[in-house]
Structure 1
Amino acid sequence: MAQKRENFTLGTKTEIASRSGYRCSYPKCGKTTVSARQHLEGFENTGVACHIYSAALDGPRGRGNLSSPEIRSSKNGVWMCSEHASKIDKNKGADYKAEVLQQWKAIHEHQIAQEHLNVFHPYGWIENIEIKSCPIFENNQKIDFQKLNLITGNNSTGKTAICEWLISLSDLGRLTRWGSAITGIPKPEKELFKPLKFNINYWAPNKQNLKIELKNGNTAVKINNNTTPFPSIKYNVIYLSFENNIENTNHRFQKKLGIDLVKLANITKHLNKENGIFYRNGRWSQSEDDDNTFNLTCKFLEGPQRSFGLMSSSEQFFIMLDFMIARASIESKQSPTLLIIELEGLTFSPQRYRKIFEHLSAPSTPFQTLITAYSDDTFDEFALWHRTDIIKSENYSSQNPVYRLEKRSQSHL
């Protein structure tokens, strides 16, 4: 008896094609697959809605433990020209794994959405980070990235470490605690640092490969296998972590945001015009105690005008988050940008999670986001995540606290 294929419906094929702009999703192809028929009425479509996980039980890339509705979903489809549709399925899809096709789909659909909105930003996209060797994780681990990404794990399991390694795209100084640029320290102490080696694969706008290796206090950097003192291809990485009771001064905002006073004033004007997710109608007033210090008052959602200093810690974080998102949106017009948000120590309602997630995953948001948080079932209800969990290695012990990375299987691809 023939095995049942889980084919896309016509409506699903149309959705996959439309989300791709009827252009091939294969990198550097982008071929238009629909056109007017020559000398005849109607149109011709030469594109193919390809399954990421296979329509057949024994097909390319297998089923990936997906249910029949998930296999038939548009989320499991990527649009290709006829040439590349054939190419990705050869050899049972061994050369084009599901994670790769999901990356291509996410990147291509993001570009099409930006074009549709008539928003043209410098193209950039972090594909993955490959952890070759380090003192925290098992060797040869990899995290693939899409537009909105989540890493969860308990405290002291390496979430911040991954953030620091990604920040090295724009600031090698974040590698100092891993033994980078250590000077004036005796050689025996330098050798206490365990070797760290990782690669970041990204587009800016062409495909780039950053290799960083730290050993005995020395840092080796290569871009596309060429040695360089530091990553010379500009990529913004903006970082926000939670802290209790942020001081209500422009100085604290400037330090947290990594900007000067003029930029802070202009971002405030931008937010007053556009509104943030939570921020409304703010202004800076000169402090009575210091002519060089200013304090913020603003609304939280539709609440009353209040001093930032009198807000709760979570409300302060959300206001600061809106400033960070505004900065990322503005800077992404000049260079590719990644926003990193660490939520450790912060709990809030699923409704507020949803507000943040929907905003950051929207086509109008022109940058990628990575969020780290404690392991929490709250995240399970959201289908927007590309999620990685940090769990204990099989070889874990108190003397050898090593973790591994596990992509969370989701009911929504």
Structure 2
Amino acid sequence: MVKEQKRIDFKYGVSKTLFDRAGGRCSFPRCKNPTSGPSRSKNTSINMGVACHIYSAAKNGPRGQGGKDATFISSVENGIWCCKYHGDLIDKESGKDFPADNLFAWKALAEARTRKQMDDIPSALGWVESIEHIAFPTLSKLPKINLSRYTILYGRNCTGKTSLLEAAASINQSRYAERFQGTYTTDTEGNRVPCRFISKVIYSTVDTISKEIFIEVCGEYLIRGDGNISFLFPPGDIEVIYCSDKDCRRKETEDDMDFFMRVLGVDKCTLLSLAKIGARTIIGGEIKFSPAEEWNEEDGENQKIYRPDGEEYIEMQFRFFKRDNYIPFGCLSSSEKGKLILDLLITKAKEICKQKLTIFIVEDLAIRFDKGNFEALLNVLLECDFQSIVSMPPWLEDDILEENGGEKILKKDDFLKKWRLQLLQI
């Protein structure tokens, strides 16, 4: 006879505290279901909400207990207030579709929203729910990804993976929509008409329970929209940071200063501030910018290098921790350059997420990473306060994925436990 495992219920008063901290509203993003209200009888009320455990009350329950002790399991910290429907939903399938990190993030957003309404304290918390194509002429199947706190995206060629990520990135940087511009087709009457590409990003912030941003490209024009309102410039409540190898292709007229300002999407002052912080995550070291020099054999001394426009060529130099010498950026290996750029982009994201909802997308900038470097990247992102999407390099499929009943899933390696896989298929 199997002995029944003892539940660890919430301490007295926890349910009431969770209700109060969530302002009596469901913590599930975009849910508008009331959790309490008047009953049909006079002067009484009914409760349609439930205090849910994030880590389970039982060892074999949804999401397990995560190595937490009874004090934590029974505390306010481990609870989230939901309507009855979502309280049941998050525990279906052993909670596999709703990992603990998601629920902790949703709880924090719900409580920050209540605090904002009480005393107008701003918060950068938010949640990006999904990215999808609504209209895409060259795709027979329109792709959509539902996001977790940490999402690994995998899809073979022609599944719409890159176009989906670039559409999301064009929320903030219109250059990522350029691949969709200038595309035309012929209508039934033989007229040349522009193709329409439409994508949608759904998210929640402290100020808005549910928001849908549309990105539409028609011919040469890009339009962003929120419901029936269209606008030319990026919205102010969300930042999409897109890490692409395409951005790292040097232009002939650029020195290192120009190159990094373009790749990171910052001005000179901000770049120098990022350089002062240095590299701290993917590749450790110190950064400085200075006029570039080269050795002149005839004069026997160093001479400054100038750009074609006559301005001094400003060079980035990098010094690895525990090493003596600075190395010009151009002398780093391709792998080291990629890591350094990614490191600075992560630092930028850490700063931006202090001010507004931030989602960090790593596409082909990590395409040359082996399993060890890929693992290091995922572990770094687990420590950050923003949502992350990482596109998995195709040659790591055998190292990262396994078959389960004919379906691809993430392997059980420790560094993958908090990540959720999103597959795109033709």
Query: TM (normalized to structure 1)?
Result: 0.66
Q: Which amino acid aligns with 1:147?
A: R
1:294 aligns with 2:314: yes
Aligned residues of 1:153 and 1:159 also touching (Cα < 8 A): yes
Residues 388, 189 of structure 1: alpha-carbon distance in 2 compared, 3 angstrom cutoff:
farther
1:79 aligns with 2:83: no
* Aligned residue number for residue 153 of structure 1: 155
- Partners of 2:322 and 2:108 in 1: CA distance: 31
Q: Deviations over 1:61-87 (max 9, x none)?
A: xxxxxxx95845147x98334xx3634
Q: Deviations over 1:350-371 (max 9, x none)?
A: 3322322122112xx2322222
Q: Deviations over 1:219-261 (max 9, x none)?
A: 5543134344455444222222236886872221122112222
- Ranges in structure 2 where 5+ consecutive residues have no aligned partner: 32-49, 67-72, 113-120, 293-303, 401-410
The answer to which of 145-154 and 97-106 deviates more is: 97-106
Aligned residues of 1:50 and 1:85 also touching (Cα < 8 A): no
1:340 aligns with 2:342: no
Give 1:278 shift. 1.1
Aligned residues of 1:245 and 1:313 also touching (Cα < 8 A): no
What is the DSSP-based 3-state SS (H/G/I as helix, E as strand, rest coil) of the residue aligned with 2:171? coil
Residues 219, 355 of structure 1: alpha-carbon distance in 2 compared, 3 angstrom cutoff:
closer
1:251 aligns with 2:255: no
- Partners of 2:282 and 2:330 in 1: CA distance: 19
Q: Deviations over 1:290-347 (max 9, x none)?
A: 3632222223454553222221101111111111111112222233222222236733
Q: Which amino acid aligns with 1:79?
A: G
* Aligned residue number for residue 285 of structure 2: 280
Give 1:155 shift. 4.2
* Aligned residue number for residue 36 of structure 1: none
Aligned residues of 2:133 and 2:144 also touching (Cα < 8 A): yes
1:198 aligns with 2:192: no
* Aligned residue number for residue 390 of structure 2: 371
* Aligned residue number for residue 162 of structure 1: 164
Give 1:109 shift. 5.5
Aligned residues of 1:148 and 1:385 also touching (Cα < 8 A): yes
* Aligned residue number for residue 58 of structure 1: none
- Partners of 2:191 and 2:240 in 1: CA distance: 31
Give 1:201 shift. 0.7
- Partners of 1:113 and 1:89 in 2: CA distance: 17
Q: Which amino acid aligns with 2:136?
A: C
Give 1:47 shift. 3.3
Aligned residues of 1:21 and 1:112 also touching (Cα < 8 A): no
* Aligned residue number for residue 47 of structure 2: none
Q: Deviations over 1:276-295 (max 9, x none)?
A: 33131222221121363222
* Aligned residue number for residue 390 of structure 1: 424
* Aligned residue number for residue 52 of structure 2: 48
Aligned residues of 1:344 and 1:374 also touching (Cα < 8 A): no
Larger C-alpha radius of gyration, 1 or 2? 2
1:88 aligns with 2:79: no
- Partners of 1:47 and 1:172 in 2: CA distance: 43
- Partners of 2:154 and 2:205 in 1: CA distance: 27
Residues 199, 113 of structure 1: alpha-carbon distance in 2 compared, 3 angstrom cutoff:
same
The answer to which of 378-387 and 119-128 deviates more is: 119-128
- Partners of 2:329 and 2:6 in 1: CA distance: 51
- Partners of 1:105 and 1:350 in 2: CA distance: 29
* Aligned residue number for residue 41 of structure 1: none
Q: Which amino acid aligns with 2:420?
A: H
Residues 218, 162 of structure 1: alpha-carbon distance in 2 compared, 3 angstrom cutoff:
same
Superposed CA RMSD in Å reads 4.6
What is the DSSP-based 3-state SS (H/G/I as helix, E as strand, rest coil) of the residue aligned with 2:385? coil
What is the DSSP-based 3-state SS (H/G/I as helix, E as strand, rest coil) of the residue aligned with 2:263? helix
What is the DSSP-based 3-state SS (H/G/I as helix, E as strand, rest coil) of the residue aligned with 2:131? strand
* Aligned residue number for residue 410 of structure 1: none
* Aligned match for 1:331, one of 352, 362, 378: 352
* Aligned match for 1:143, one of 142, 145, 152: 145
- Partners of 1:51 and 1:277 in 2: CA distance: 30
Residues 332, 180 of structure 1: alpha-carbon distance in 2 compared, 3 angstrom cutoff:
farther
* Aligned residue number for residue 407 of structure 1: none
* Aligned residue number for residue 408 of structure 1: none
- Partners of 1:166 and 1:250 in 2: CA distance: 27
Q: Which amino acid aligns with 1:289?
A: I
- Partners of 1:304 and 1:203 in 2: CA distance: 47
Residues 152, 310 of structure 1: alpha-carbon distance in 2 compared, 3 angstrom cutoff:
same
Query: TM (normalized to structure 2)?
Result: 0.64
- Partners of 2:110 and 2:229 in 1: CA distance: 32
Q: Report the count of equivalent residues.
A: 339
What is the DSSP-based 3-state SS (H/G/I as helix, E as strand, rest coil) of the residue aligned with 1:322? helix
Residues 168, 181 of structure 1: alpha-carbon distance in 2 compared, 3 angstrom cutoff:
farther
Residues 341, 217 of structure 1: alpha-carbon distance in 2 compared, 3 angstrom cutoff:
same
What is the DSSP-based 3-state SS (H/G/I as helix, E as strand, rest coil) of the residue aligned with 2:278? helix
* Aligned residue number for residue 179 of structure 1: 181
* Aligned match for 2:273, one of 249, 255, 266: 266
